[in-house]
Amino acid sequence: MAVQKSAQPAKSVPDSTRRSEKSRRAIYDAALALVVEVGYPKTTIEGIAARAGVGKQTIYRWWSSKADVLMEAFLDLGERPLGEVKPEPYAFPDTGDVAADVKDVLRATVDQLRDPRFEAPSRALAAEGVVNEQLGRELVAKLMQPSLDLYIGRLRAAQEAGQVRPDVDPRIALEFFVSPLAQRWLQHTGPISYEYTDTLVDYALQGLAPR
């Protein structure tokens, strides 16, 4: 890591950018691997640095805690090309048909939950969030809230379009879409499939009582 800038003066900026990018990726990979192998409590900045082959100070220059490193590692994972798997959309689709749009997003979530690259680190972090309220709240704020806000926006648009009742609180309504799937995945309470998430959307919109 001790490359002397003076040795390559002309290319120093792009090289350091490349070096930084490579270090950043190595740090993310090390953090995700460690949290799976030893669990969140035993994952340390020192351990991440050693595994990534960087100095501790390199990590502290960019992040203030292991929680920060892990959360950015997750956000980065979501941005990498996923092969067959589409990343979760940053903008919620709005085709004018709220049922179709929510089904579409939930199918992408099913794909992501089944992606083996996400599975183990997601579970390790989620498990720690169950017993560590401070981390749990950070996970919600940084990793979940952006998605939940997209649901809220889409449900508000559906209310304006007359597809969702105006008296419904979108923050609670969205839980019919995300919570059953989350519980099946987190707690192993049932299988996950497109057919299942499609059914959730139909039941939630139509209601369980006869019309």
Binding residues for a second copy, rule: CB under 8 A, are 39, 123-124, 126-131, 133, 136-137, 139-140, 144, 148, 155, 162-165, 168-169, 171-173, 175-176, 178-180, 182-184, 186-190, 196, 199-200, 203-211
4 vs 189 by CB, closer to a second copy: 189
Q: Three-state SS across 168-198?
A: CCHHHHCHHHHHHHHHHHHHCCCCCCHHHHH
Nearer to a second copy, 24 or 154 (CB): 154
Torsion sign, CA atoms 88, 119, 204, 155: negative
CA distances to 19, 58, 118, 135, 146 from 30, in Å? 16, 14, 14, 19, 25
CB of 84 to a second copy, least distance (A): 24
- CB of residue 169 to a second copy, shortest distance in Å: 7
Nearer to a second copy, 16 or 44 (CB): 44
Q: Is 70 exposed, middle or buried (0-12, 13-18, 19+ CB in 10 A)?
A: buried
CB of 103 to a second copy, least distance (A): 14
Least spacing, CB of residue 47 vs a second copy, in Å: 18
Question: What minimum distance in Å lies between the beta carbon of 107 and a second copy?
Answer: 16
Nearest to 126 by CA among 187, 46, 174, 193: 187
**Looking at beta carbons only, is 56 or 123 nearer to a second copy?**
123
List, in order, residues 6 or more apart from 40 with CB less than 8 Å away: 66, 70, 124, 125, 127, 128, 132, 135
Closer Cβ to a second copy, 81 or 162, answer by number: 162
